[in-house]
């Protein structure tokens, strides 16, 4: 195993781990964003590390895009401010508390106070957001006709898909949509609800999305394309 570095255009250095494997015929490339940001490569026995790195460079645009969509994580600490569900929320910490406290401030902001030890701070904030995301998702789904409702809702933490709908009626959503504007979160939900009638992206499917969502579908879709990577900023 040999380790090198791949420098992104923003200056971030991504470790490159190259493994040699017998029986391989081609160089393979696998960028990873978690738990560590690394690029894993495998090469045939007769191929050199330099040829592997040259192949990696030829895929720069693709690799850059992957890491742009999943930016380097930023830690959250007491006093930080985040935006969830269109609300500005100031994070607080009280080690004496067992339950969370969510306060609506007079200036239009909100305060979330979580308890527990300092090492549990981010986890408790994340768990609160995930629980609220499920509540908000159910409320948005109830605004659509019952015939579109899923049989089951699953909350995921995916890096490539914001939502999915299975043929069994189970819908999965990335809880990171909590950091997006509510209009964008609603777009993804209506998108998946439309799949209960059309398991494709045909003109009929998009007509159903527009029927469920109303005016502004393209604007919400465009926002997610342009800003989706920022939803992975924390945790």
What percent of the chain is predicted at pLDDT more than 70?
99
- Tell me which residue has tokens 């609506």: 104
Q: Are residues 173 and 104 in the same domain?
A: yes
What is the pLDDT at residue 86?
A: 98
Residues 191 and 87 in one domain: yes
Domain count of the chain?
2
Average pLDDT over residues 62-90: 93
Q: Does 15 reside within a domain?
A: yes
99 falls in which pLDDT band (50, 70, 90)? very high
Please give the C-alpha separations between residue 91 and each of 112, 121, 123, 145, in angstroms, as whole numbers. Answer: 5, 10, 13, 36
**Nearest Cα residue to 230 out of 40, 52, 32, 83:** 83
Q: For residue 210, is it within any domain?
A: yes
Three-state secondary-structure class, residue 181: coil
Q: Structure tokens of 215?
A: 């005016």
Q: How far is CA 18 from the centre of its chain?
A: 27
Whether 55 is in a domain gets the answer: yes
What is the extent of the structural domain holding 29? 2-69
101 within some domain: yes
114 and 121 Cβ atoms separated by less than 8 Å: yes
């Amino acid at each position: 195993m040999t380790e090198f570095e791949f420098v992104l255009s923003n200056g971030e250095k991504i470790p490159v781990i190259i493994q040699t494997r017998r029986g391989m015929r081609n160089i393979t490339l696998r960028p990873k964003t978690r738990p560590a940001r690394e690029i894993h490569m495998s090469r045939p026995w007769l191929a050199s590390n330099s040829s592997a790195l040259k192949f990696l460079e030829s895929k720069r645009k693709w690799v850059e895009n992957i890491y742009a969509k999943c930016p380097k994580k930023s830690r959250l600490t007491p006093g930080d401010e985040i935006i969830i569900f269109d609300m500005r929320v100031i994070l607080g910490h009280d080690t004496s508390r067992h339950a969370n406290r969510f306060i609506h401030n007079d200036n239009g902001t909100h305060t979330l106070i979580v308890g527990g030890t300092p090492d549990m701070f981010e986890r408790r904030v994340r768990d609160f957001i995930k629980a609220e995301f499920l509540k908000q998702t159910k409320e948005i789904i109830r605004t659509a006709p019952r015939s579109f409702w899923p049989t089951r809702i699953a909350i995921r933490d995916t890096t490539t898909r914001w939502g999915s709908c299975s043929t069994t009626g189970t819908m999965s959503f990335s809880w990171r949509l909590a950091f997006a504007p509510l209009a964008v979160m609603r777009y993804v939900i209506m998108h998946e609800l439309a799949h209960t009638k059309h398991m494709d992206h045909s003109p009929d499917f998009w007509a159903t999305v527009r029927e469920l969502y109303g005016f502004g579908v393209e604007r919400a879709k465009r926002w997610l394309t342009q800003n989706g990577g920022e939803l992975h900023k924390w945790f």
